[in-house]
Amino acid sequence: MPEKKSVDPAITELLDKAMAEGINTVFDRAETTKACPIGSVSACCKNCSMGPCRLTGKTEVGLCGATKATIAARNLARDIASGAAAHSDHGRDMALTLLAACEGHAPDYGIKDERKLKAVAAYLGIPTEGRDKVEIGRDVALATLSNFSSTKAEVDSVKRAPPKRQEVWRNLGIAPRGVDREIVEVLHRTHAGNDQDAEHILDHGLRCALGDGWGGSMLATDISDILFGTPGPVAARSNFGVLSETEVNIVIHGHEPTLSELIVAAAGEPDMIEYAKSKGAAGINLAGMCCTANEILMRQGVPVLGNYLSQELAIVTGAVEAIVVDIQCIMQGLVAAAKPYHTKIVTTSPKAHITGASRIQFDEHRAMEIAKEIVKLAIDNFPNRSKNKVQIPNYVNHLVAGFSHEYLNYMQGGIYRESFRPLNDNIMNGRIRGAAGVVGCNNARVTHDDAQTYIVKELIKNDVLVVTTGCNAIACAKLGLLTPEVMNIAGPGLREVCQTIGIPPVLHMGSCVDNSRILTVLAQCATEGGLGEDISDLPVAGFAPEWMSEKAISIGTYVVASGVTTWMVGHHPYSNSPEVVDMITEGWKKKVGAAYYFEPDPEKAVLEALAHIDAKRAALKLEEYNPTRYAQSETYLPADYTSHENFAKGLYSRAGV
Ligand code: BF8
């Protein structure tokens, strides 16, 4: 168990309160419930009722003769399929909402971003000239839905990858067809007695993951932008200090923007605010949790309360009237944690009920009416708040988020010259050593937010530009890494670029489905010129520190399949088969030009990634990276002037040195 539970002081404060009040949280359960040593390395096969078979000790095969490699490969493929299903089903629901809006059945939604609508229509081969946006929107929704159910040769977004990458996929036979088909085929192949060649199973795992990244997730992001707007930079606040002592606090938790956008609108309605005042509150205060937080932060600037491991502790503040959840990453433990408090846990999705929770089922056909019902439920609960139970940790950080691919393109040249030329040039000349995507979850088996923030700081210190999503983005937000001032701890070259372009060195790009924005950025860097012709040529790396979900496995796999070597920071869940470990590292390097590493030590992962970035630079014949070449003015501070500990205490600015 980690010695320290979290590097976030707000979490530490609330854990003390939880302990004093006898509340059991995920942090406690991580101490009392050990991970199963057999399942945690894929030594277990439970695909039929002759088992579960444990392939430990001298046992080399299951009852049916399945080898360690087959079992580990099947487990990996099933993890990918589950993660791909979660992202993609989210994407499908976004498309159904767009369709309902365009057919006049969802009056509270409309097309907010016509430019994005037309761009997506072009990818999907839908004519736009002289057509009404609602007509185009309907066609986009239908074409999107057909990408899920289709049996055609490839999902449409495959064409958005660089031509060389498309060739790699086609040569390997892993360009994804319909997203649903690839997921179903994983389940079929991994059923007892079917596909029993590890490499062959894993090839299909790659295909299924690509169906997530370049299919389901990319379409989810596209439709969200069409309905709610493509994000641009927005200033906001984060951490527990964003809760209000005097207002009704509503925490919006989950993943889909469909309901949360409407709750934001409902909470701003004058009649709702008046109603809150009539119950003794000063107003209504919203805060986001997990990827819903990222969605409504990027588009509405709604404050971010916390990431995955923060959810039960929101209740422990005693100040939250309702936690409204939709889908994914919602702990069942919320209901038990809420029992001694007044907080109501409200489930809303037809796909996700929780025993003992309140329930208001969301229906996009009467979205505003339902959103108001939810806000009203929270307001009605305000008088039940016990003042003597309230403790809101006084920690708030400021942040800038909202760096969509479109905005990054715009900011590097304005509307007439938008491009990725400045970024590519600065990577080529070595001011920027490379770039990294740092994404993913929290995991109660390690110190909360520690590896997340350590890796980001180390990367920017070494002149590596960071893009972030999901729970990493929230960790960065809470701990002050999403501010322009953070360029003070960036390496000199990266700092110079950030100063001239006017961006922070850590760019918040959204929720987990928005990892597809990162794919779009990578595709553009690869085709812009000067950095090779394929994503696998780029000096870039992927990280998922503190990962925990099957969605993270799917993301990691499609990032690798897209050509980016990736470090999942944590134990190796498939290590019972050295053959599979080799297949996804050395084997995938040969197949897709990138490796999939599981490495528990964050320091080692960073060092390996920096060496990898330098090797990619060398292969491109770029100038060798030199950390002292640029920005040698007196404003330069050695990047290691502050320790990880000082950084966590907020002593990271020059003033704090
Ligand atoms: O989808 S990073 S814990 S919240 S799975 Fe979940 Fe992981 Fe957070 Fe967003 Ni993504």
Alpha-helix runs per DSSP H in 502-601: 515-528, 550-561, 578-582, 588-592
Residues 6+ away with beta carbon under 8 Å from 70? 196, 197, 198, 201
Spatial contact of 250 and 126, defined as CB atoms under 8 Å apart: no
Residues 509-518 as b or e (16 or more Cβ within 10 Å = b): bbbbbbbbbb
Nearest Cα residue to 554 out of 213, 227, 125: 213
Q: How far is the CA of 403 from the centre of ligand 1 (A)?
A: 19
Res 636: pLDDT: 43
* Residues 82-106, mean pLDDT to the nearest whole number: 97
Nearest-5° angle of CA 291, CA 333, CA 508? Answer: 15
Supply the residue whose CA is at minimum distance from atom 9 of ligand 1.
Answer: 291
Q: Percent of the chain at pLDDT above 90?
A: 89
Give the model's pLDDT for residue 352.
Answer: 97
Q: Where are the alpha helices (DSSP H) in 397-439?
A: 405-411, 421-428
Among 255, 312, 327, 441, which is best to mutate for testing ligand 1, by the most ligand atoms less than 8 A from CB?
Answer: 441
Does residue 207 register a pLDDT over 50? yes
Q: Answer whether residue 501 shows pLDDT above 90.
A: no
For the cut 60, the answer to whether the pLDDT of residue 653 exceeds it is no
Gap between the Cα atoms of 322 and 380, Å rounded: 10
Tell me the three state secondary structure of residue 94: helix
pLDDT over 70 percentage in the chain? 96
Residue 545 CB less than 6 A away from ligand 1 = no
Residue whose CB lies within 8 A of the most ligand 1 atoms, among 549, 555, 569, for a mutation test: 549
Distance of CA 71 from the midpoint of ligand 1 (Å):
26
Residue type at position 86: A
Q: CB–CB of 294/366 below 8 Å?
A: no
**For strand 464-469 and strand 434-438, is the pairing parallel, antiparallel, or unpaired?**
parallel
Does residue 329 have its Cβ closer than 6 Å to ligand 1? yes
Tell me what pLDDT residue 630 has. Answer: 77
β-pairing, 44-45 vs 53-54, is antiparallel
Structure-block tokens of residue 388: 């003597």
How far apart, in whole angstroms, are the C-alpha atoms of residue 437 and residue 292? Answer: 20
The chain-wide mean pLDDT, for the chain, equals 94
Q: Is 291 close to ligand 1, i.e. is its CB under 6 Å away?
A: yes
Which residues pair with residue 437 across a beta bridge? Answer: 467, 542
**Residue 26: which H helix or E strand, with range?**
helix 26-32
The string of DSSP letters for 233-289 reads -EEEEESGGGS-SSSEEEEEESS-HHHHHHHHHHHTSHHHHHHHHHTT-S-EEEEEE
From ligand 1's centre to the CA of 48, what distance in Å? Answer: 30
Q: Which amino acid is at 263?
A: I
**How remote is the CA of residue 86 from the centroid of ligand 1, in Å?**
11
Atom of ligand 1 nearest to the CA of 469: 2
Q: Which residue is it, tokens 């971003």? A: 113
Q: 540 CB under 6 A from ligand 1?
A: no
Task: Indicate the pTM of the whole model.
Answer: 0.94
Residue 324 dihedral angles phi and psi, to the nearest 5°: -100, 125
Whole-angstrom distance, CA of residue 310 vs CA of residue 294:
15
Report the C-alpha gap between 113 and 225 in whole angstroms.
7
d(CA 494, CA 484): 12
Residue 592 · residue 173 · CB < 8 Å: no
Position in ligand 1 atom list of the atom nearest CA 549 = 5
- DSSP-assigned letter for residue 36: P
**What are the φ/ψ torsions at residue 123 (nearest 5 degrees)?**
-60, -35
Give the H or E element holding residue 495: helix 492-501
Q: In angstroms, rounded to a whole number, what is the distance separating the alpha carbons of residues 527 and 511?
A: 25
What's the token pair of residue 62?
A: 């299951």
1: confidence class by pLDDT, cuts 50, 70, 90: low
Handedness of CA 493, 499, 501, 507 (dihedral sign): positive
471 lines ligand 1 (CB under 6 A): yes
**Closest Cα partner for 482 from 514, 452, 506?**
506
- As a whole number of angstroms, the distance between CA 547 and CA 452 comes to 10
Amino acid at 363: D
Nearest to 648 by CA among 473, 448, 401: 448
At how many degrees (to 10) do helices 179-189 and 133-149 cross? Answer: 10
Distance from Cα 384 to the centre of ligand 1, integer Å = 31
Cβ of 551 below 6 Å from ligand 1: yes
The predicted model gives 529-546 an average pLDDT of 97
pLDDT in tens, 401-411: 999 999 999 98
Q: What is the pLDDT of residues 568-583, one digit of tens each?
A: 999 999 999 999 999 9
